[in-house]
Each structure stands twice: as structure tokens, then as C-alpha cells.
Amino acid sequence: MAPRDITGSEKIGPSRQPLIGRLKVERQMTTDEQLMLEFQRGSHEAFTELFQRYRERIFGFFRRRVNDFASAEELAQETFLGLLRGVTRYEPRALFRTYLYGIALHLLAAHRRKSASRANHGDEITPLSARGDPDAALWVKQAVGRLEEDAREVLMLREYEQLSYTEIASLLRVPINTVRSRLFRARLDLKELLVPQRGNTERGSR
């Protein structure tokens, strides 16, 4: 594979990602990495800005992966506390986003280890969608929960966290081709889980 730019700025594809587009505009002002360096030098404002940018995303990250609101909130808080504590260790080699999600993934793994004895996530469902159709949300959540764990993580990082293949690869410490194949498998599996139930009326099942 040809080397890629991890920001993905030089790639073209169908413009179906309004969220990414919005993020790019944000980053053109002051990048996360610049803010992080400012924060390292002691700027409180820089930290506040980073927190504002990532608060909902980190909270959402946990909210989709753990069962209760309180745990998600606590884990999100822990993530930013980790950012505060480890600020001296951050090196601008890594993208800030990868760094932050790295902390989050680590905390998530620790949380899952602790609650391993309890029921698997995705089984006890609390309907949670504030916006959109609660039934649809529940249905997607159940379907996603049925995916293989490796594939599910890649798919969620791609679809909900909007991370690039390279970022996912470095977060999960797997080769980029593994990310691609897992993502491909996850999407086909999820299509099988989602489309036949509702999709019968829209598309014939292949």
C-alpha cells in the first residue's frame, strides 16, 4: 500500500461524511496538537478548548460501550483526568485524537475487566436515544452487539468516532490491512443483521 497521510486530507471519496468535513474546518483554526502543546506549557484555555471539542465525543464513546450513563460519565471524566495527569508525557509525534482515544480505550478495557463477571454489554438494554427513533437505536445497538468483538470495535471506531484506518490501526495495535478486513467483515455481517429484518421491503436479500 502506498503511504497515506493520516489526516486523510488528500483522499477523495464520496462526500457522505458531513461530520468529518466539520471537524476539518474546526482544525484549520487551531489544531488539537497545537492546543495540546499550549496546554503542556500551562495554558488553561487550551485545555478547556480541547475538553469542549472532545467532551461529547468521549462521552459518546463510552455511552455506546458501557451500559449505564453514570459509568460512561465517570469514564469520560477519567479520560480527561488522565489527559491532565499525563500531559507531560504527551509527545507531538502522535495525533492528539489517537492519544485521547488511546486513553479512553485503555480505561474501557480496565472497566470491562472489572465488570467481566457481570453481564455482557449489549444484553441489558436501556433505550437511550434522545434524538431520533428509540426503536431504531435499540435495534442497531442489538445488532452491533451481536458482531464479533474485534470487528465490532473497528466498526464502531470508524462509524461513531470517525477515525481513519491508520488511527484505528495504531489504537488497536494491529496492521492496517487487518483493520480493513475486519471493517469489511463487520459491515457485511451487520448488513445481514440489519437489512433482512427491515430491508425486505426496500431491497431483496441477496
Partner 1 sequence: MTSAMHPVEKVELMAYLDGELPVERAADVAAHVEQCAECRALAADFGLVSERMAAWQVEPSAAPLTERMNAAAQKHFEERKAREVRAPKFLTLAPPRPLIRRWVWGLTGTFAVLLLVASISIPNLLRSRIASNQATHSPYLAQMDAEKQGGLGAGGAPYAPQHPPGPMIVRTAALTLVSKEFDQARAAIEAAVRQHRGYTAQLTVSGQAGSGQSLTATFRVPADQLEAVMTELKKLGRVEQESKSGEEVTQQYVDLSARLANARRTEQRLNQVLEQRTGKIADVLDVEREIARVGGEIERMEAQLKNLDKQVEFASLQVRLNEEYKAQIEGTPSSIGTRLWNAAGDGYHTLAENLLGLMTFLLSYGPVLLFWGAILYWPARLAWRRLRA
Q: Which residues bind partner 1 (CB under 8 A)?
A: 2, 4, 8, 10-14, 16-17, 20, 40, 42, 44, 47-48, 51, 55-56, 59-60, 63-64, 69, 73, 76-77, 80-82, 84, 86-89, 103, 106-107, 110, 128-133, 136-137, 139-141, 144, 155, 158-160, 164-165, 180-181, 183-184, 187-188, 190-191, 194-195, 199, 203, 206
Rounded alpha-carbon distances, angstroms, from residue 9 to 28, 202, 203? 12, 34, 34
Report how far residue 135's alpha carbon sits from residue 176's, in angstroms, rounded to the nearest whole number: 34
Cβ 18 to partner 1, closest distance in Å?
11
Closest contact distance (angstroms) between CB of 117 and partner 1 is: 20
CB atoms within 10 A of CB 45: 10
DSSP 15-74: ---HHHHHHHHHHHHS-HHHHHHHHHTT-HHHHHHHHHHHHHHHHHHHHHHSS-HHHHHH
- Cα–Cα distances (Å) from 6 to 3, 108, 118, in that order, read 9, 24, 38
The span from the CA of 100 to the CA of 33, in Å, is 11
- Residue with Cβ nearer partner 1 (13 or 29): 13
Nearer to partner 1, 115 or 178 (CB): 178
Name the residue nearer to partner 1 (CB basis): 27 or 63.
Answer: 63
Q: In this complex, which beta carbon is closest to partner 1, that of residue 172 or of residue 194?
A: 194
